[in-house]
Structure 1
Amino acid sequence: MTFEPDDILEAGRSIRPFLPELLGNDAVQVDKQLAELLAQAKAGQEVDKQILEILKSQPDTRNWIAEFLSEKQVSKGFEPLPGKGQAISAQKYICPQGDYVWYRRIVGATIPICPTHGVVLIPAAQ
């Protein structure tokens, strides 16, 4: 299956908060690699294939990325209840430098700091 480069970059940004849970001790190294590649992407380099390869290299990140890039992206918000209604999206926060994404799934959850730049994430434009 082929994915759009922008979707892969967004997946690379979005998985970063979950790396400790997914990879344990390996999370720091993978996060560093992703941060470097995302900085290169911001500078105009094509790095989407490298990001995808990193994320496909571990079973847990491979499963996460498969779900994120699927047609039905549960990780980006909430699924609707059965019957009539609409899905409620989780609020998206981004690093002003563009390499880290976090979704606020619980009202009142503390907005994290970007691990790369040490700044508080800001709400993404709707």
Structure 2
Amino acid sequence: MVFEPEDILEGTRLIRPFLPELLGDDAVQVDRQLSELLAQAKAGQQVHDQILEILKSYPDTDDWMAEFLSEKPITKGFEPLPGKGQPISASKYRCPQGDDYSWYRRSVGTAIPNCPTHNVPLIPAD
């Protein structure tokens, strides 16, 4: 399956907050590599194949990205709760100094983090 480069870049921005959980000790190194590749992408370079190569080298990040890029969500045994549910909105935040980090605030009580690349507070995405 062929994916749009922008979809790969968006998935890369969104996976970064989950890298410690997915990769443990390797998270810092992988995050640094992804940050550098996102900066190259912003400069106009085609890096989406390199990004996918890095993420495919770890089973957990490969699964995460495959689910993000899939047309149908992978449920892995999930069954929805009975009744009629409604989607909840989560505010999206991004780095103001570079388009290399995105984060969703799932709860109002959750503090908005700093961008790990530039160490500045995230701002609401437009």
TM-score, structure 2 normalization: 0.87
Query: 1:41-69 deviations in whole A, cap 9, x for unaligned?
Result: 01111101111111111000011101111
In the alignment, structure 2 segments of 5+ residues that lack a partner are 75-79
Deviation (angstroms), 1:89 = 2.9
Tell me whether 1:105 sits opposite 2:94 in the alignment. Answer: no
Count of matched residue positions in the alignment of Structure 1 and Structure 2 = 120
CA distance in 1: counterparts of 2:61 and 2:28, whole angstroms: 14
In structure 1, the partner of 2:38 is: 38
**Aligned partner of residue 64 in structure 2, secondary structure:** helix
1:81 Cα deviation after fit: 6.6
Report deviation, 1:83.
Answer: 5.7
Corresponding residue of 2:28 = 28
Length-normalised TM-score, structure 1: 0.87
Match of 1:49 in 2: 49
Q: CA RMSD in A?
A: 1.8
Report the AA paired with residue 62 of structure 1.
D
CA drift at 1:91: 1.1
Percent identity reads 75
Tell me: CA distance 1:111–1:84, structure 2 relative to 1, closer, same or farther (3 Å): same
Q: Structure 1, residues 78-101: CA drift from partner, whole Å, max 9, x if none?
A: xx9766564223211101111001
Counterpart Cα distance in 1 of 2:93 and 2:120: 12
Distance 1:44 1:7 in 2: 15
Aligned to 2:88: 88
Structure 2: distance between partners of 1:94 and 1:124: 6
> Alpha-carbon deviation of 1:105?
1.0
Structure 1: gaps of 5 or more residues = 75-79
SS in 2 for 1:92: strand
Q: Check if 1:13 corresponds to 2:4.
A: no
Bigger CA radius of gyration: 2
Give the letter for the 1:106 counterpart. S
